[in-house]
Amino acid sequence: MNLIKSVVAGVARSSQSLKQFSVPLRCFGAKSSDNALSLTRPFTVPSRSYSRKPSTCDICLFPPDKRPCFDIRTVTIERGTLCHARMIRSFLYTHFWPREPSVAGLWMSLDCPYLDVLTDKYANSGDRLLAFEHMARTGERKLVGVTVANKIHPWVPDELEDWAHFTYSNPERNRMYFCAHCYRSPNLFNKYHVKYIYDVEVLATAAEVTGQGVGTKLLRTLLEHAQELRHPLVQVVATSQYTSKICEKCGMKREWTMDYSDFVDEKGQRVFFPRRPHHTVAIYTKHHDPKVPPPQPCLPPF
C-alpha cells in the first residue's frame, strides 16, 4: 500500500508540473486570424541558465575588410641601390617566387641554383623601383612592392636555350625554354624595328596589400621613367592574371597570349600545372615613338 501511495503521489506531482508549463491550444477559423499567425510564427527556444557564458571573442573587433590599416597615399616609390640588395632578395623569396605561376606551376624548389642566380641578378642589377609603406604608428617604413626592368636583345632567347641544354633539372630547363619561347614568339624586334626591348622582369607586391593599387602605381612609375629615358619599347610578360589586369589599367597593348596547357616538353607532355585563375600567359607592350617629344614638365609659377 505504501508503494502504491508513493507512485500515485509522484504521478500527481508530474501532472501539476506539466500543467504549469503547458500552453492552451486555441482552435482558429476564419475569424481567428491572430491565432493562426501566432501558430505559424517560428518557435524560438529560450536560453537556459546552463548555456555558455558570453565571451569577448564573440564580438568581431575588426572590420570585414582584410586590410583595414592600408592606405595607398602612404606609399612612396624609390629607386633601388646596392644598399637595398639584401632587402630585395628577402622580398623575392618571401612574396614573389612562391606565388609566381611560372615557378609554382612547375613544382620548382625554392632553393634551386637557378632561382638563386636570378635573385642575385634582380637584387644587384637593372632598374629597380621599390614601394615603401609608411607606418604611422611606429614611424617605420615597410617594403610592399618591387619591380625590376632590364634590356633584352635579339640574341637573348638563343642564350637561354643554350643554357637550358646544359641544365639537368627538368623544372629549371622547362622554365628556360618557356622564357625563350615567350621572347621569340611575338617577334617584337621585327614588328617595331627596335634594337632592344625594355623588359619588366619582376612586378611583385606583398601578399597583404594585393589588389590595393601598389602594383599599378609601380608599373605607371616605371613607364614614366622609361619614357624619360627614351626607351622605344617596354614589355611585360604577364605570367599571372593579376599582372594582366595591372597592364590593362596602365594602358598597355596585348601583343601575344598562350595557354599554359599548350606548352609541352620534347615528349609532348604538359609541363605547367598552375593554380587558378592563372591559366594563360600574355605579353603587353608600350611603344614610345622617338619622333614624339616627351611631355613637358610643369613649369614653376614664376
Give all domains of the chain, ordered by start, each with its CATH number.
72-287 (3.40.630.30)
pLDDT tens-digit profile, the chain (302 residues): 555 656 556 555 555 554 444 444 444 444 445 555 454 555 554 555 556 666 655 565 555 555 457 889 999 999 999 999 999 999 999 999 999 999 999 999 999 999 999 999 999 999 999 999 998 888 899 999 999 999 999 999 999 999 999 999 999 999 999 999 999 999 999 999 999 999 999 999 999 898 899 999 999 999 999 999 999 999 999 999 999 999 999 999 999 999 999 999 988 999 999 888 899 999 999 998 878 877 777 777 75
Task: Please list, residue by residue across 17-30, b when 16 or more beta carbons sit within 10 angstroms of its beta carbon and e when fewer do.
Answer: eeeeeeeeeeeeee
Q: All 3 cell numbers of residue 198?
A: 625594355
How wide is the angle at C-alpha 84 spanned by C-alphas 81 and 88, nearest 5°? 120
CA atoms within 13 A on the CB side of 238: 28
Residue 260: per-residue pLDDT? 95
The dihedral over CA atoms of 299, 223, 94, 256, expressed in degrees to the nearest 10, equals 170
**Where in 139-244 does DSSP place strands (E)?**
141-152, 197-205, 233-238
Please state, as a whole number, how many other Cβ atoms lie within 10 Å of the Cβ of residue 258: 15
Residue 15: per-residue pLDDT? 53
With H, G, I as helix, E, B as strand and everything else as coil, classify residue 35: helix
Residue 280: per-residue pLDDT? 95
- What is the value of pTM for the model shown? 0.74
Residue 22: per-residue pLDDT? 46
